[in-house]
A and B are shown apart, each in its own frame.
Chain A
Amino acid sequence: MNLTDFLQSLEASHLARLYDHQWTVQAVFRSLPPVAKQYALRLLFVDPAEHVPAVVFDSWIKPEHRSKHDSAKANLTKLQVLIYSERSGSPGYRLHPKFQALLKLAVCGGGTIHATVPADVVPHIPSRSALNAHAEGQWEAMLLYLVGTRGSPPDIQTGLEVEPLPFDELFRGAGLVVSNRSSARSHISDSGFQFLLLDTSSQVWVAISEYISQAEKTMGVNMSEVVSFLLELAFRPMTHPGHMRDLNHGQSRVAAHMTQLGIMMMFKAGTSIMYCPTPLARCLCNSSTAGVGGSQQQGFIVVETNYKLYGYVTSAIQLAILELFTRRECRLPNLFVGSINRDSIANALSCGITAEQIISYLQAHSHPKINHRVPIVPEVVADQIRLWEADMLRVKTLPSVLYDEFPSRYVFTEATSYAQQKGVYLWDDGKSKLIAKLEGDQEMRTRIKELRGR
């Protein structure tokens, strides 16, 4: 999941409001696919009162790459960035006026966050490593709470009087947990396990998009304002903190929640409270998934051809994830040794994780020492994991009904052919037993009664 997916999920009326804020505009522009981005740039300096004739617009692509053109056009239209207009009878295209104005401002170097930081604040700005530690700590605490190894959600460390983020509702809304009637606490769901294997930037977006939709419902905050605040955070340099007092009530609530998630960090400078983004905030406006998180996410997994897995891990959540699909053999202070075998994979598959997800997780988190290997996960291991998955899918269960003790051969054959006709036939023993799908039971019963009556 990323910004594009989030935007695609929004309704049209919501989208239009987003372009009131320059950070949203910039982030949307960055998230566009390459050809669409070029079109936006080409239309950028066209006079808002004019438009580019459709003929010219359509001539921008080579005829053999027509599909790219159409998809870019559809993409831009869906985001309401591109607007179809007709002027004095000729069709043409132009950009959304607000989008155009704000993007122009950005391209011409206006509206950046370059307010000079007051000298008395500078010594208080948290270092990069402190920001990293905060982001990792909070995010991991959230994941551990999701898995259930941690009893309480991550703390709120702001000193502001704001009700903490309702993590349980957030998880439930995103479908990461399912409520269990027998116990008070809900359990992690299949999609929750899949969520754990995602890269951090996708995880952030899953959580944030759910947060945004809940914020509008429960907190009564304007969605476009939340989005623009979050994206401003994403664009804000880590060395340029902002003042909490500049935020309005709704924004400061969001800010407190983001601190809890580890997307931003608050600190005191003298008497005033300041905030600055953590590396996690960068995930919000980055459209490409590769290499997101940068220094924050160092690979740590080495997979060998003998199905051994070495993970240089210290964090509890990474350990928990590895144990989802490996059997622990040995645990040293900084090293986890596990083996991948049929049982461990079957275990993971039964949690709803797919083989592809396991393999891509192993690839995404490979140790820098083995990064040059092609493929990173040995083929024999990857293929075997896929085979084990196929093995699990070999047997399919269907709710069905067994019909037995037919009065005569005639009734049996008639009933069998009727089941085949209706497409509910599953199996018969050729003599007296017939199995059909459950959904056809009613029809089968009436048919058999009819046959018996004859």
Chain B
Amino acid sequence: MLPSSMMLQRLKELNRKHPNRGKGGEPLAPALSGALSRALCFLHKASKTRLSRNSRPRILCFMVSPDQPAEYVSVMNAIFSAQRSNVSIDACYMGKESSSFLQQAAHLTGGTYMKPELQSALLQYLNMAFAADTATRGFLTENAGQAVNFKASCFCHRKPIDLGFVCSVCLAVFCQNVKECQICGTHFMPLLTKTQKRDEGATAAQGSALPSK
């Protein structure tokens, strides 16, 4: 059998062995954040042993389904904790579009994001992009750099936004103007119009519209 198809079959087998289904058997949304957190836990445990003292761990993440905006906060938290513990996240996305979550994960942790064009040559893609350790990657040419989509999701409705409102205290992102931050509870002053501004002078404008990008 061709190695690439063998790999795909193994991945499918893995998927069958650990089905991601609810109690009634209905398919659940992919749990990217859960997967990342679990991998980080394993790595943390492994880092305590003597053997892995000098190793630089990496996570390779395969994903087929599209991003779940609902997971945005937990995925970002997983990414940041990976960043803190010096773990690189490599991402291989095999869905139709491109995954903004995985792009950001790879970008922020110094990993590699890749979307194979030809799935039948998957093995060669994996060999080319992910086999090298982080130090060796510094010497090798990377595959054509793709623009990273830094789109954030709002904290209130979990939908991806281009422009939004940011809490000046906890940096939470909202898609609409709110009176009170839902995350940290800060009360925002109402937006001032131009005339009011002139009247009251340059007061710090909490809750003012700031592009999130």
Find the B residue at minimum CB distance from A109: B6
Are A35 and B139 within 8 A (Cβ)?
yes
Q: Is the CB of A41 within 8 A of B136?
A: no
**Interface residue? B97 (CB, 8 A):** no
Closest A residue to B142 by beta carbon equals: A62
Q: Which residues of A40-79 are within 8 A (CB) of B?
A: 41-42, 44-45, 59-62, 65, 68-69
Q: Is B3 interfacial (CB 8 A cutoff)?
A: yes
**Interfacial chain A residues near B124, Cβ < 8 Å:** 42, 45
Residue of A nearest to B136 (CB): A34
* A38 and B136 in contact, given A45-B124, A45-B127, A108-B6 (Cβ under 8 angstroms): yes
| A to B contact number (C-beta, < 8 Å) | 40
Q: Does B28 contact A (CB under 8 A)?
A: no
Residues on A with beta carbons closer than 8 Å to the beta carbon of B6: 108
Q: Point out the residues of chain A lying under 8 angstroms from B136, CB to CB.
A: 34-35, 38
Q: Are B140 and A61 in contact (CB under 8 A)?
A: yes
Dominant secondary structure at the B interface: helix
Residue from the list A44, A62, A107 in contact with B140, Cβ < 8 A:
A62
Taking a contact as CB atoms under 8 Å apart, the answer to whether A68 and B139 are in contact is yes
Q: B52-73 toward A: CB 8 Å interface, digit per residue (1/0)?
A: 0010000000000000000000
List of B residues within 8 angstroms of A38 by Cβ: 131-132, 136, 140
- A34-B136, A35-B136 given; A60·B141 CB < 8 A: yes
Q: How far is the CA of A45 from the CA of B5 in the complex (A)?
A: 13
A61: B residues at CB distance < 8 A:
139-141
* List of A residues within 8 angstroms of B54 by Cβ: 290
Measured in the bound complex, the distance between the Cα atoms of B133 and A62 in whole Å is 16
B76 beta carbon closer than 8 Å to chain A: no
A35 contact set on B, CB distance < 8 A: 136, 139-140
Residues of A within 8 A of B141 (CB): 59-62
Q: Is B123 interfacial (CB 8 A cutoff)? A: yes
Given contacts A60-B140, A61-B141, A108-B6, contact A34 B128 (CB under 8 A): no
Q: In whole angstroms, how far apart are the Cα atoms of A59 and B127 in the complex?
A: 16
Q: Which B-chain residue is minimally distant from A108 (CB atoms)?
A: B3
Question: Measured between C-beta atoms, what is the minimum distance from A95 to chain B in Å?
Answer: 13
Q: Bound complex: CA of A107 vs CA of B7, how far in Å?
A: 11
Does residue B118 face the partner (Cβ distance < 8 Å to A)?
no
Asked if B204 is at the interface of the complex by the 8 Å CB criterion, the answer is no
Instruction: Say if the beta carbon of B147 comes within 8 Å of chain A.
Output: no
CA distance A117 to B141 in the complex (A): 46
B56 to chain A, nearest CB (A): 12
B135 within 8 A of A: yes
A110: min CB distance to chain B, Å: 11
Size of the A side of the interface (Cβ < 8 Å), in residues, is: 18
Q: In the complex, which residues 89-148 of chain A have their Cβ closer than 8 Å to any Cβ of chain B?
A: 104, 107-108
Kindly identify, within residues 113 to 138 of chain B, every residue whose CB is under 8 Å from any CB belonging to chain A. 123-124, 127-128, 131-133, 135-136, 138
Q: Given that A34-B132, A108-B6 are contacting pairs, would A41 and B127 also be in contact in the complex, using a CB cutoff of 8 Å? A: yes
- Chain B contacts with A in 126-173, Cβ cutoff 8 A: 127-128, 131-133, 135-136, 138-141
User: Given A61-B139, A61-B140 in contact, is the A45-B132 Cβ separation under 8 Å?
Assistant: no
Q: How far is the CB of B185 from chain A (nearest CB, A)?
A: 45
The docked-state distance in angstroms from the alpha carbon of A59 to that of B141 is 7
Given contacts A59-B141, A61-B139, contact A41 B131 (CB under 8 A): yes
Q: Are A65 and B3 in contact (CB under 8 A)?
A: no
B59 to chain A, nearest CB (A): 20
> In the complex, what distance in Å separates the CA atom of A115 from the CA atom of B139?
41
The residues in A between 250 and 300 inclusive whose CB is less than 8 angstroms from any CB of B are: 290
Which of B128, B133, B139 sits near A42, CB closer than 8 Å? B128
B113 vs chain A, min Cβ distance (A):
19
By a CB distance below 8 angstroms, the chain A residues around B139 are: 35, 61-62, 65, 68-69
Contact of B127 among A34, A44, A65, A69 (CB under 8 A): A44
Question: In the complex, A134 Cα to B132 Cα: how many Å?
Answer: 38
Nearest opposing residue in chain A for B128, CB measure? A42
Bound CA span A89–B51, Å: 50
Cα–Cα, bound, A69→B54 (Å): 25
- Compute how far the CA of A69 lies from the CA of B141 in the bound complex, rounded to whole angstroms: 11
Q: How far is the CA of A140 from the CA of B49 in the complex (A)?
A: 29
Question: Considering only CB atoms, which chain B residue lies closest to A34 in the complex?
Answer: B136
Residue of B nearest to A64 (CB): B139
Instruction: Find chain A residues with CB under 8 A from B132 CB.
Output: 34, 38
Give 1 or 0 for each of B23-60: 1 = CB within 8 Å of chain A CB: 00000000000000000000000000000001000000
Separation in Å of the A276 CB from the closest CB of chain B? Answer: 22
In the bound assembly, the distance between CA atoms of A62 and B136 in angstroms comes to 11
Least distance between A440 CB and chain B CB atoms (Å): 52
Chain B residues with Cβ under 8 A from A65's Cβ?
138-139
A107 to B3, CA, bound (A): 9
- State the Cβ distance, A147 to closest chain B Cβ, in Å: 31
**Among candidates A34, A45, A62, A69, residue contacting B123 with C-beta atoms closer than 8 Å:** A45
The residues of B that contact A60 with a CB separation of less than 8 Å are 140-141
> Quick check: B140 and A45 within 8 Å, CB to CB?
no
Query: Quick one: closest A residue to B7, CB to CB?
Result: A108
Q: Give A328 to B128 CA distance when docked, in angstroms.
A: 57
Residue of A nearest to B131 (CB): A41
CA of A61 to CA of B54, assembled, Å: 25
How far, in whole Å, are A45 and B126 apart by their CA atoms in the complex?
12
Contacts of A42 in B (CB 8 A): 124, 127-128
Q: What are 13 pairs between A and B in contact, CB < 8 Å?
A: A34-B133, A38-B140, A41-B127, A41-B131, A42-B128, A44-B127, A45-B124, A60-B140, A60-B141, A61-B141, A62-B138, A62-B141, A290-B54
A-B pairs with lowest CB-CB distance, top 5? A65-B139, A34-B136, A38-B132, A41-B127, A41-B131
Sample of 16 more A-B contacts, CB < 8 Å, known A34-B133, A38-B136, A44-B127: A34-B132, A34-B135, A34-B136, A35-B139, A38-B132, A42-B127, A45-B3, A45-B123, A45-B124, A60-B140, A60-B141, A62-B141, A69-B139, A104-B3, A107-B3, A108-B6
